[in-house]
Structure 1
Amino acid sequence: MKNILIKSFLSLIFCLNLYGQANLVPINNRIYDFLERMTVKDALDFNSFFKPISRKEIAAMLHEIEPEKLSDVEKEELIYLKQEFNREIISIINPNQNFNGKLNLLWAGSTEDRLNLLDYNSPHFNFTFNPILGLSVRNIYDELQLKRWWGFSFYGDINDFSFQGDFRDNWEQGDNLDKDYRFNDKTGPIILKSTTNTIEYSETRGAVLYSNEWMTIGAVKELFNLGSGYRSQLVLSQKAPSFPSIYLKLAPVEWLQFNYLHGWLISRIEDTLLTYKTFIQGRDRRIYRDKYFVMHDIQIKPFSDLTLNLGETVIYSDNGVYWGYLIPFLFFRSVDHMFEGGGGSNAGNNGSLFFDINYKFLSKFKTYFSVFIDELSLSDLLDGSSDRNQFAYSIGLHAYDFGISNLGARIEYSRILPWVYSNFVQTQTYTNSNYLLGHYIGQNSDQLFLQLDYRLLRGLEFKFWGEMIRRGGFDDVANQYTDPGEPFLYGLRRNETNLGLEITYEYIHDLSGRISYQYSDITDEDALRTPEFMMGRQHSFSVGFYYGL
């Protein structure tokens, strides 16, 4: 089965005509914020619903921006960012451009290029390599907490095949470490080593992709954002660790795009029948149950200021890779009926629907509305007869350059009703390695987020933000399937208020410093949910320096 799948995939790849490069730019790269601001300002047309996108796509958008529409700071930003994507921009302007064909160390080809540790450019092979280094110190919970990380990243292409990789090793120290990252939006670590006051973990990402004029396809292990949300996303956020996937993106015309992922997740549910003893007593070989994620999404742009997305997700498990979910264009809800129907009770999978609207209703203003549906009865919702409507939504407004140049403002509200993301089958919860794939606040909760951001100089950014988060209880999962269901925010309440100020400065490409302050006030009626050291009013300060994102 696995050999057939691999051979079929490779055969599809190699029978295609070659066209272009498609290295994906990580979702935390500063470029996405710039593209979003330029879109709100009507200097560009970029939809941030599905990320990451390729260097080739970003270069085309940067090349499209007219400097005459920008402020002085934005013009400097544009020049600076074009240095990052100069090779791709040159390929757009002059596809027959011949590069020097030399291996260069600590080299920028011209004033229009950025500096890289290792760089090679030729007509048929390109390669770039850079280190990753970082150190941050944080004063929180009446102690100093340290974090350091190191690694490397690279990307390149051979004709029309692209490859990339990113590795980083992390170490954290502190008596009151938040080891499970349960209450923040950062990517959850898979801890390799842990002591009373330290943790160590690593993360690796990468991709091998083929791209032509209208399609990108390949194997990817990367963090994805799927959903219009700034603080977090409903469908896929950065909360869960990256997972390997088959990736497909089709864009046959400007107004239509199709996205597909089939991923391999870590269930953390032990298969006790397959677990076996090793030669060392007490060190049994632990085998986990199979778990998979599949998603497809269609994006339509009927007007220049309106973008619509509609799609499905499925979490399935236990029976190996199912070929029905490897056909990107099938209606997955109907595929699931093949498991559940015909006497196959409790044999189905965890399917969901989502849709998203992005609308620029005025120049310099954009609004968005995103919905994720686990279970919904429209009649019950309208007459209020049941609380078993399990869906989540986010609604937000982004304004930029309104009255004051380089000033941005955001307001976003997200609500996740009880039992969204959960399932009575342990291997079909909406998680990877026990971290949520969707919005990090989780089910039975809501969040109001506001932010002001201002850029004084190229690379110098100020952010002032605040949020209020309410979390309810989490009862017996059997109640998820019992009428009338639980009301929103049922159970023991956790309330959290945060205020933050952050100053970031990027001196040269990838070399940055950050200073931040955060005030938090947390109360929790559940004595077991929140560690004691997090409770009450807290002040934290942090300073960090890093090279590489």
Structure 2
Amino acid sequence: MKKILLLLLVFTSLCATSQIVYESVQRTNIYDFLDELANEKIISINSVVKPYSRAFIAEKLQEANEHKDLLSKRQVEEIEFYMKDYRLEVVYNTKGMKPLNIFPKKDHIASSLDPMAITYRDSLIGFTLRPIFGLEYFINSNEAAFHRWGGVEGFGYIGKNFGAYTSLRDNHENVIMTSTTYFNQRIGATIKGSAKGGGDYSDARGGLMVSWNWGAFGIVKDQAIWGNNYNGSNILSGRTPSFAQIKLELKPAKWFEFNYIHGWLVSDVIDSNRSYWDGDTYRDVMHSKYIAANMFTFIPWQHLNLSFGNSIIYSDIGVQAAYLIPFLFYKSVDHTLNSTNNYAGQNAQMFFDISSRNIKHLHLYFTFFVDEFSISRITNSSEHNFLSYKGGFRLSNWPLKDLSLTTEFTYTLPMTYQHRTSTTTFESNSYNLGHYMRDNSMDIFFALTYKPIRGLRVDLSYAFAKHGNNYVYGVYEPGDQAPILKDITWQESIIGLKGKYEFINNAYVFAGIFISDIQGYDVDGLTAEDYLTLFTPEMYWGNTTTINVGFNIGF
């Protein structure tokens, strides 16, 4: 930690143009709006790595605002609306912040309703404090459930170099909807269960970043989403609980970007050699577990991004200096450190992503995740590599304004994301770091999104997913001959209609209705109910029509 702080101090000597504070990836409206502007070629973004910084979002909103002749009336209103929130990144005072400003005669401190915050800003320091509260209610013929959360978030800047942020959310679910094995996209959590049912969990995020005019470096505890997607990434999905990570971002040229993380994961594997008795209490100590990952993005033409990278999950050797070098091919490093013995080595991956917005209104993308690969398997029809594919497109504002069409397909082969060694699985807190459907699965997603006025979006969607035999790496051998989707153990189809309105910045009301058919099947000695229990909250079993309503201030 002392070395990290020393590096942060060294970087402050560099000339900075903007400070870095990351915007929550759960604030989907602003991410979706930037995506819409990029699809229309009004701005350019690299959407392969998220979250974005607030300064980046403010910059892109200002850039779009310079092309008002290309914007619709709604888009102009969206920009004006969001700039009320992102003004902290642009101006050095609080003049004009309203309504409900209890400091009307002050130029540098203000309270406001839109956004709901207390803000201080001058030429050196900026800080804002905001409440978090939300309530979500679900009901169908099987059960009624709710999710309640509350907390506070704050972020600020010092000078032109430092950005910092923090947040805390306490959550309660009366019916547990989040689990390491569930096939849904709710963000993972370590839940403290209750004898009455349901459970509680908390989520603390934050970070300290130093930035300069072509890069940023720091340490954060946050989500990481890598890979273009509209329905769950198959590289890093961001579904795990947030984890601590060193981050490095470099943008030295218009045609090149680089991202790197080194993260401290949670293994959930007890280290019996380090665990011990303390009086009559036995203290469990977990194995340490880490991830190092990099992503190189080349932009040969504007709006065409070609990205590739690699990662490694490692443990039992402490923080390895070689994995702190951002630009390495980590599989080769692993061979040097641990020979080529699979049982001595770590767990490495590669990935590729192509994103094209060269055709106005249209975003095309393809993602390829490689867990284990051998050339000999390509020519052998009875064997397969451990791979995941994702492809899709979004058509925005054509042929009809304010309407977008999204199509996405994901296909993951058996044993992908799994590993023979429990301390180096592609997981944190036992949640898969990759696609929410994990291995031996297929997922299809369609959506029509309509935005008739500023802040309102209506989504009509259809999702179909299925999971084959639930193979376990090392139990089914050889793993590269496991049949692909031979026997279906679980399947779902969902038709959804949902509306959401952002009435002030970062505050929403929403409602939806979802018609679903989720089934399990008798396969491999387990019953249909066994698979439903493993993969789905009980309230969604079978044919159901679920009504969902709620509101939230912050996330």
Shared fold per TM-score greater than 0.5: yes
Match 1:502 to one of 492, 498, 502: 498
2:305 is equivalent to residue 307 of structure 1: yes
Match 2:377 to one of 364, 377, 380: 380
User: Is the CA contact (8 Å cut-off) linking 1:233 and 1:438 kept in structure 2?
Assistant: yes
- Paired residue for 2:211? 211
- Paired residue for 1:183? 183
Deviations 1:106-141 (A, max 9, x none): 237xxxxx4342110011111000000111221035
- Paired residue for 2:432? 436
- Paired residue for 2:87? 86
Any stretches of 5+ residues in structure 1 without a counterpart? 92-99, 109-113
- Paired residue for 2:359? 362
Deviations 1:302-325 (A, max 9, x none): 011311001001000111100000
2:531 is equivalent to residue 529 of structure 1: yes
User: Is the CA contact (8 Å cut-off) linking 2:515 and 2:544 kept in structure 1?
Assistant: yes
Match 2:328 to one of 324, 327, 330: 330
Structure 1 residue 405, shift from structure 2 partner:
0.8
- Paired residue for 1:263? 263
- Paired residue for 2:109? 104
2:278 is equivalent to residue 278 of structure 1: yes
- Paired residue for 1:236? 236
In the alignment, residue 359 of structure 1 is paired with which amino acid? S
- Paired residue for 1:42? 41
Are residues 443 and 179 of structure 1, via their aligned partners in 2, closer, same or farther at CA, if it must alter by over 3 Å?
closer
User: Is the CA contact (8 Å cut-off) linking 1:419 and 1:480 kept in structure 2?
Assistant: no
In the alignment, residue 347 of structure 1 is paired with which amino acid? A
Q: How does 1:379-458 map to 2 (within 5 A)?
A: 379-381=376-378, 383-458=379-454
Q: Distance in 2 between matches of 1:466 and 1:481?
A: 36
Q: Distance in 2 between matches of 1:102 and 1:287?
A: 52
In the alignment, residue 33 of structure 2 is paired with which amino acid? F
Match of 1:362, SS?
coil
Are residues 424 and 60 of structure 1, via their aligned partners in 2, closer, same or farther at CA, if it must alter by over 3 Å?
same
Match of 1:456, SS?
coil
Match 2:338 to one of 331, 340, 358: 340
Match of 2:120, SS?
strand
Match of 2:452, SS?
strand
Match of 2:219, SS?
strand
Structure 1 residue 270, shift from structure 2 partner:
0.3
User: Is the CA contact (8 Å cut-off) linking 1:102 and 1:120 kept in structure 2?
Assistant: no
- Paired residue for 2:471? 475
Structure 1 moving runs of 4+ over 3 Å: 5-19, 100-105, 176-181
User: Is the CA contact (8 Å cut-off) linking 2:12 and 2:210 kept in structure 1?
Assistant: no
Are residues 261 and 132 of structure 1, via their aligned partners in 2, closer, same or farther at CA, if it must alter by over 3 Å?
same
Q: Distance in 2 between matches of 1:483 and 1:434?
A: 21
Structure 1 residue 67, shift from structure 2 partner:
1.6
Superposed CA RMSD in Å reads: 2.0
Structure 1 residue 385, shift from structure 2 partner:
3.0
Structure 1 residue 88, shift from structure 2 partner:
2.1
Deviations 1:392-450 (A, max 9, x none): 01000110111211000000000111011110000111100000111101100010000
- Paired residue for 2:548? 542
Q: Distance in 2 between matches of 1:189 and 1:222?
A: 13
In the alignment, residue 452 of structure 1 is paired with which amino acid? L
- Paired residue for 2:54? 55
Match of 2:82, SS?
helix
Moved more, 8-17 or 353-362: 8-17
Are residues 117 and 465 of structure 1, via their aligned partners in 2, closer, same or farther at CA, if it must alter by over 3 Å?
same
Q: Distance in 2 between matches of 1:180 and 1:347?
A: 27
Q: Distance in 2 between matches of 1:180 and 1:331?
A: 30
Structure 1 residue 546, shift from structure 2 partner:
1.2
In the alignment, residue 155 of structure 2 is paired with which amino acid? Y
Q: Distance in 2 between matches of 1:214 and 1:75?
A: 29
Deviations 1:281-303 (A, max 9, x none): 3x421100010011011000001
Q: Distance in 1 between matches of 2:51 and 2:350?
A: 21
Q: How does 1:512-523 map to 2 (within 5 A)?
A: 512-523=508-519
Are residues 319 and 209 of structure 1, via their aligned partners in 2, closer, same or farther at CA, if it must alter by over 3 Å?
same
User: Is the CA contact (8 Å cut-off) linking 1:460 and 1:505 kept in structure 2?
Assistant: yes
Q: Distance in 2 between matches of 1:423 and 1:449?
A: 28
Structure 1 residue 7, shift from structure 2 partner:
5.8
Q: Distance in 1 between matches of 2:373 and 2:289?
A: 25
Are residues 178 and 220 of structure 1, via their aligned partners in 2, closer, same or farther at CA, if it must alter by over 3 Å?
closer
Are residues 25 and 177 of structure 1, via their aligned partners in 2, closer, same or farther at CA, if it must alter by over 3 Å?
closer
Any stretches of 5+ residues in structure 2 without a counterpart? 93-104
User: Is the CA contact (8 Å cut-off) linking 2:15 and 2:213 kept in structure 1?
Assistant: no
Structure 1 residue 23, shift from structure 2 partner:
0.8
- Paired residue for 1:486? 482
TM-score calculated relative to the size of structure 1: 0.92
Structure 1 residue 190, shift from structure 2 partner:
0.8
Moved more, 232-241 or 294-303: 232-241
Q: Distance in 2 between matches of 1:162 and 1:144?
A: 42
- Paired residue for 2:156? 156
Q: Distance in 1 between matches of 2:351 and 2:237?
A: 14
Q: Distance in 2 between matches of 1:134 and 1:262?
A: 32
Structure 1 residue 361, shift from structure 2 partner:
4.5
2:244 is equivalent to residue 247 of structure 1: no
Are residues 18 and 79 of structure 1, via their aligned partners in 2, closer, same or farther at CA, if it must alter by over 3 Å?
closer
User: Is the CA contact (8 Å cut-off) linking 1:354 and 1:371 kept in structure 2?
Assistant: yes
Structure 1 residue 180, shift from structure 2 partner:
5.0
Q: Distance in 2 between matches of 1:428 and 1:308?
A: 29
Q: Distance in 2 between matches of 1:18 and 1:33?
A: 28
Identity %: 30
Structure 1 residue 481, shift from structure 2 partner:
6.3
TM-score calculated relative to the size of structure 2: 0.91
